[in-house]
Amino acid sequence: MKKISFALFIFICSNCFSDENKINIIVENCRACHNVNINVKEIPYIYDLPKIKFIELMLSYKKQKDNNVMTRINRVLSEDDIRKIADLMYD
């Protein structure tokens, strides 16, 4: 498992087309709260969601009128960003 994550990690951080690169580092930042290896009860664990559900959830924040932390973080991400984040996290 360690070797797999190491290989994926290097693969991720070394494929340096500007846009993909941006998505990779965005995902690293998401992991500050949504860590793949750490499941805490206060924050939803998102890695066992179906990919399509994740995309729907992220897009739904864009329609929400309240000002919760995910709505605010989502504001800067485009629909294209969200789909690429999903590709990286679930494929």
Partner 1 sequence: MIKDIHKRKFIFNLLTGITYISLSKLLFLKKVNAKNKPNVVILGSGIGGASCLKYLNKISDLINLIVIDKNKKIRTGPFSNLVIGDIMEEADITFFLNKKKYNNVKFIFDEAKYIDSNKKFIEFSDGNKINFDYLIISPGIGYKENIIDGYRINDKVSVPHCWDGDGDLNYFKKRLGVLENNSLIIISSPDYPYRCPPAPYERASLISNYFKKKKINVKVLILDSKDSFTKQQNFFKEWSFYYKNTIEWVSRKNGGKVVFFDRKSNLVKNDQGESFKADFINIIPDQKAAPIIFNSNLVSNNDDWCQINPITFQLINFKDIYVVGDSINAWDMPKSAFSANSQAKVLSLNLINRILEKDYIDPVFLNTCYSFSKDDRAFSISAWYRLNSSEDRIVSLGSSESQVRLNSTETIKEAKHAYGWYKTLVNDIFL
The residues of the shown chain that bind partner 1, judged by CB under 8 A, are 3-11, 13-14, 16, 18, 21-22, 24-26, 28-35, 37-38, 40-43, 66-69, 72-73, 75-76, 90-91
Task: Give the shortest CB-82-to-partner 1 separation in angstroms.
Answer: 14
DSSP 9-77: HHHHHH---HHHHHHHHHHHHHTTTS-TT---TTS---TTS-HHHHHHHHHHHHH--S--HHHHHHTT-
Residue among 32 and 48 whose Cβ is closer to partner 1: 32
Query: Residue 91 carries which DSSP code?
Result: -
Where is 3: in which H helix or E strand? helix 2-14
Task: Give the shortest CB-48-to-partner 1 separation in angstroms.
Answer: 14
Residue among 59 and 81 whose Cβ is closer to partner 1: 81
Task: Give the shortest CB-36-to-partner 1 separation in angstroms.
Answer: 10
